[in-house]
Amino acid sequence: MSTRIGFHGCYTAIVTPFSADGTSVDLARLEEGVRRQAAGGVTGIVPCGTTGESPTLTEEEHARVVETAVRVGRPFGLQVVAGAGSNSTAHAVHLQKLARQLGADAGLQVTPYYNKPSQEGIYRHFMAVADCCDLPVMLYNIPGRAGVAIAPETVERLSRHPNIQAIKEATGSMDSASEIRQRCGITVLSGDDSLTPSFAAVGAAGVVSVVSNLVPGRVAELCRLLAGNDFRAALEVHMALLPLSKGLLSIDVNPVPVKCALASLGLDTGMVRLPLAAASAQAATRIRELVVSAGIVASAVPTPAGAAR
């Protein structure tokens, strides 16, 4: 049985930096990004997730990204929740075992996509992953990408497995989050920056965040305020970031906007890989406006130890 992890606070769904032409992973920039997150005070990082463009990574690249995240993040006390999901159960099991081998603290397991399995199929898929090794599982419920949701009653069934310890709820549904909390004690994390306070109000313990790629300190502080029931101060932080949080997931498909926003701050993470395409000129202008409106300037972005400004 896996050790139980106290999932809480801000987990950054960290981008995968690529070279200028997108043909290779820029591990040096990834290291800088991990240190930047640590300097911002987040609880953990999630490499090889949706924001990390996991579908375009080769298995060798996937392993190097997770290895780098663990090697650089662990000395700073960061939890590393490695993306390990697949729409093939056998492959998801393989990636979960790989995450354990590489030293990750948990594996992020997305609902099987494209297949559109039944709830029984979803249950058996995740149970196979949970049974395969002693590494905690964070379920990832994102029907907008997977085509099917994990129903609250299925989450309840899955939560009885000691290795299934948390769920990233990216359904956008307060009803779903509320029913999961009502049914079982699994740790719920918001999968949408714009809903972090709303989810906290029904018992969520934090967020897997996209906007924290830009402002890790602000999102970490938001989570601390919510955990301390200081909703007045939390609301102030949340409202200042809300237009940007919404824009990063609506102006173009994630992670196109966040990579554009990082570049506007002098934190270039390279291009996105096909089939994604770079933000249009109009979209890029709007993204830059949102970054400025949120009061984010390059000088305010945490600088990782040993990295030049």
Contact in structure between 12 and 49 (CB atoms under 8 Å): no
Give whole-number Cα distances, 26 to 33, 188, 246, 296, in Å: 11, 32, 28, 24
Q: Is 140 a catalytic residue?
A: yes
Q: Which one is catalytic: 11, 123, 140, 259?
A: 140
Maximum alpha-carbon separation in the chain: 51
Residue with tokens 């039944």: 118
Q: Which one is catalytic: 11, 116, 123, 168?
A: 168
Q: Rounded to the nearest 5 degrees, what angle is found at the Cα of 66, between the Cα atoms of 60 and 251?
A: 95
Q: How far apart are the first and last CA of the chain?
A: 44
Quickly list DSSP for 181-238: HHH--PEEEES-GGGHHHHHHTT--EEEESGGGT-HHHHHHHHHHHHTT-HHHHHHHH
Residue with tokens 């490499």: 47
Q: Is 168 a catalytic residue?
A: yes
Q: Dihedral, CA atoms, 174, 258, 300, 222, nearest 10 degrees?
A: 10
Task: Reduce the DSSP state of residue 250 to 3 states and report it.
Answer: coil
Active-site annotation, residues: 140, 168
